Structure 1
Amino acid sequence: MAKIIFNGEIVDRTTAAIDIEDRGYQFGDGIYEVIRVYNGKLFTKNEHIQRLYESAEKIGLKIKDDKDAFGSKLEELVKVNSLDTGIIYLQFTRGVYPRQHGFPEKEVEPVFVAYTKEMKRAENLMKSGVNGLLVEDIRWLRCDIKSLNLLGNILAKQKAAEADCYEAIQHRGDKITEGSSSNVFMVKDGILKTHPVTNLILNGITRQVILKICKENEFPVKEVEFSVSELTEADEVFISSTTSEIMPIVGLNSIAIGNGKPGEITKKLQQIFEDEIQKQCEKALSH
């Protein structure tokens, strides 16, 4: 039987129950993270935990656990569930309290849940590329917080699914922001562009890894806004996320990007990213 973490303890999944007055259930009042697991090792664990704590601070939610102890508990969960390739999902809500819109009038304990899930890598899609759908970004103005309030993202993703597209590429007016569950990169004349870190996007962990490896390998990158027309006229487009890794976008709204195939820079970055995965896994094994 699969194990989960419930309020700090590893227990059988069937023994845990969420109260109907949990503020995450009633208001989406909470935060979450998704961490990739490769070969039984958590990829970019520390970066995800750091962002989790930052999101908590932004909404006034106190996580009492030490970051190192917290990370060790996640590793223990992966181990007891014998997860090789997949994800660990974790979330904190503000806790259980009689329903009211304002924060609880007295301090309550946050509710913490984490579970693992097997998930294969989308290797075939990463080789062939996928299609995207341009969608107006209707979300709130604090997209930098990885909150449980994902209705805007869900509606965008559903539009993409109905159009037989892998991802919704969102824009506010004429400016591209990000995907419904990913960050967006474009390549033009050998230069990568991606939206700067503001309140309008989530600073994706995979995005951060890509920027790091671009710097290390001297790929020119600009963190700047770009328009819908710049994106559709780009030489290459790809999205990045924990589960999609580096995913080529070969068509947008039935318009081919470049020659309609994954571009050379995208493929080079995929290989370097693969090397980064292996490097981190080997480092984890040596500790």
Structure 2
Amino acid sequence: MENLGYYNGKFGLLEEMTVPMLDRVCYFGDGVYDATYSRNHKIFALDEHIERFYNSAGLLGIKIPHSKEQVKEILKEMVLKVDSGEQFVYWQITRGTGMRNHAFPGDEVPANLWIMLKPLNIKDMSKKLKLITLEDTRFLHCNIKTLNLLPSVIAAQKTEEAGCQEAVFHRCDRVTECAHSNVSIIKDGVLKTAPTDNLILPGIARAHLIKMCKAFNIPVDETAFTLKELMEADEIIVTSSGQFCMATSEIDGKPVGGKAPELVKKLQAALLNEFLEETNAD
């Protein structure tokens, strides 16, 4: 199959899948999601993504009707059904199906598990990104990977209209994260990245970047940084599941970064190698 959808045990081509109109996702966006990539039909960093998935669900009081091991096995079985070994692997849980009511349904209403797979490769890290900055007007629980993504959708549209690839959010002068990525900076050989408080998503790729810096004895400073620090950084790095360590060349039309290219290349090579090793064919 070229792609694959799954809904509560039923699966088929994405173009042919349907879901109930009364699924709470349709009127409340009531659910959480996670995503990663597979290569050679092996899912990268699956344990870490599952942990974040269950943490997000728990923070919203959504009870997933499967164990972590059961969800992992479903995902592993699903990726084998898609022809391409290199896939974008996306899954979400929604708070059940029922007549529209703001209050949660009772425990007798089970949550709904969705899975969506499509062929997709990770990003080419040799290319540099162009960014824009936007005031962060999202709610105060950005640490939950909720399905309520309208602010990020609007930011993505503004980014595309500006001819850029990503938007950097800030609350007053504090940089938080990007519309669908984490952002970190390198200054004087130190990686600086925002703390994992309620204003940013604890990115899996961000965690791998920190781990790799520590392996190379690169100091890591997990404290908030400002727009001024962002613009004056030696390098600006954007991380997400499909782009492990992307450097930046421009923000709001102004040239930035490019002052520590060898350090960036070293991290990119190590992170790519980690991905290739974990997803290597047996």
- Give the structure-1-normalised TM-score: 0.93
Give the one of 268, 276, 279 matched to 1:278.
276
In the TM superposition, what is the alpha-carbon distance from 1:106 to its structure 2 partner?
A: 5.5
Give, in angstroms, the shift of residue 68 of structure 1: 1.6
Contact kept in structure 2, 1:129 and 1:262, CA below 8 Å: no
Tell me the residue number matched to 2:131.
132
Q: Which whole-Å CA distance do the structure 2 matches of 1:164 and 1:14 have between them? A: 30
Aligned-pair RMSD on alpha carbons? Answer: 1.7
Q: In 1, are the aligned partners of 2:127 and 2:246 still within 8 Å (CA)?
A: no
| Corresponding residue of 2:145 | 146
Structure 2 unmatched ranges of 5 or more: none
Q: Return the alpha-carbon distance in structure 2 between the equivalents of residues 208 and 21 of structure 1.
A: 37
Query: What is aligned with 1:247?
Result: 246
- Cα 1:15/1:266, change in 2 over 3 Å: same
Q: Which amino acid aligns with 1:38?
A: R
Structure 1: how far apart are the matches of 2:160 and 2:169? 14
CA shift in 2, pair 1:106/1:191, >3 Å: closer
Amino acid at match of 1:63: I
Residue 215 of structure 2 corresponds to 216
Aligned to 1:79: 80
Amino acid at match of 1:153: S
Look up the match of 1:8.
Answer: 9
Amino acid at match of 1:39: N
- Code of the residue aligned with 1:244 in structure 2: it is Q
- Residues 84-139 of structure 1 deviation map (CA, whole Å, 9 limit, x = unaligned): 1121111111011110111114531111110211112321xx21301100110010
Partner SS, residue 164 of structure 1: coil
**1:214-241: CA deviations, max 9, x gaps?**
1122111110100001000011001000
Measured after TM superposition, the shift of residue 244 of structure 1 is 2.1
Q: What amino acid maps onto 1:279 in structure 2?
A: E
Please tell me whether the aligned partners of residues 65 and 111 of structure 2 are also in contact (alpha carbons under 8 angstroms): no
Please give the alpha-carbon distance, in whole angstroms, between the structure 2 residues aligned to 1:209 and 1:257. 24
Match of 1:183 in 2: 182
Matches within 5 A, 1:87-98: 87-98=88-99
The alpha-carbon deviation at position 14 of structure 1 amounts to 6.0
The answer to whether the 8 Å contact 1:127/1:262 transfers is no
Q: Secondary structure at the match of 1:101?
A: coil
CA contact (8 A) 1:130 1:251 kept: yes
Say which of 264, 274, 278 aligns to 1:266: 264
Residue 200 of structure 2 aligns with which residue?
201
Aligned to 2:166: 167
**CA displacement at 1:262 relative to structure 2:** 7.4
Give the unaligned 5+ runs of structure 1: none
- Deviation beyond 3 Å, 4+ runs, structure 1: 8-16
Q: Greater helix percent: which structure?
A: 1
Q: Which amino acid aligns with 1:149?
A: N
1-structure distance, mates of 2:252, 2:186: 18
**Does 1:51 find its partner at 2:52?**
yes
- Alpha-carbon displacement from aligned partner over 1:1-60 (angstroms, at most 9, x marks no partner): 543322134445466421111111110000111111122210000110111111110001
1: distance between equivalents of 2:51 and 2:8?
A: 19
Is 2:143–2:198's contact at 8 Å kept on the other side of the alignment? yes
Structure 2 Cα separation of the partners of residues 214 and 54 of structure 1: 26
Decide which moves more: 181-190 or 98-107. 98-107
Equivalent residue of 1:49, what SS? helix
Deviates further, 59-68 or 140-149? 59-68
Q: 1:156 to 1:13 in 2, by over 3 A?
A: closer
Work out the CA distance in 1 between the residues paired with 2:219 and 2:43.
29
Shift of 1:274: 1.1
Distance 2:190 2:250 in 1: 19
Contact 2:96 2:111 in 1 (8 A): yes
Q: Is the 8 A contact 1:175 1:228 kept in 2?
A: yes
Aligned to 1:121: 122
Q: Do 2:37 and 2:122's aligned partners in 1 also have CA atoms closer than 8 Å? A: no
- Stretch moving more, 155-164 or 165-174: 155-164
